[in-house]
Amino acid sequence: MKQTILFTGKELKELWKTYKFLILCAVLLLFGMASPLMAKLMPELFSQIDLGLGAPLQLPDATFLDAYVQFFKNMTQICLIVLVLVLSGTIPHELKSGTAVLMLSKGLSRSSFILSKYTAALLCWAAGYALSAAVCFGYTQFLFPEQSPKSLGMALFALWLFGAFLLACVAFGGVLFSQAYAGALLTGGAVVVCYLAGLIPGVKRFSPTFLISCNLELISGARAAQEILPALLVTAALCIMLLAGSILIFRQKQL
Percent of the chain whose predicted confidence (pLDDT) is above 70: 93
Phi, psi values for residue 88, rounded to 5°: -70, -20
Question: What tens digit of pLDDT does each residue of 77-94 get?
Answer: 999 999 999 998 888 887
Spatial separation of the C-alpha atoms in residues 73 and 109, rounded to whole Å: 40
Looking at residue 58, what is its pLDDT? 65
Question: What tens digit of pLDDT does each residue of 214-254 get?
Answer: 998 999 888 888 999 999 999 999 999 999 999 999 888 77
Question: What tens digit of pLDDT does each residue of 155-170 get?
Answer: 999 999 999 999 999 9
Spatial separation of the C-alpha atoms in residues 100 and 82, rounded to whole Å: 25
Spatial separation of the C-alpha atoms in residues 7 and 28, rounded to whole Å: 26
Among 185, 213, 215, 188, CA closest to 198:
213
| 109 in Cβ contact with 3 (< 8 Å) | yes
Angstrom distances, CA of residue 34 to CA of 39, 71, 139, 146? 9, 8, 9, 19
Spatial separation of the C-alpha atoms in residues 155 and 213, rounded to whole Å: 10
Higher-pLDDT residue of 46 and 20 is 20
Q: What's this model's pTM, rounded to 2 decimal places?
A: 0.91
Enclosing domain of residue 196 = 2-252
Spatial separation of the C-alpha atoms in residues 160 and 97, rounded to whole Å: 31
- Report how many domains make up the chain: 1
Question: What tens digit of pLDDT does each residue of 121-139 get?
Answer: 999 999 999 999 999 999 9
Spatial separation of the C-alpha atoms in residues 83 and 75, rounded to whole Å: 10
Scored b (16 or more CB within 10 A) or e, 87-118 reads bbbbbbbbbeeeebeebeeeebbbbbbbbbbb
Looking at residue 43, what is its pLDDT? 65
Average pLDDT along the chain? 87
Question: What tens digit of pLDDT does each residue of 182-224 get?
Answer: 888 999 999 999 999 988 888 988 999 999 999 989 998 888 8
Region 59-75 average pLDDT = 86
Looking at residue 176, what is its pLDDT? 87
Angstrom distances, CA of residue 22 to CA of 40, 184, 222, 252? 28, 20, 36, 34
Looking at residue 98, what is its pLDDT? 74
Looking at residue 52, what is its pLDDT? 58
Higher-pLDDT residue of 116 and 105 is 116
Region 5-33 average pLDDT = 91
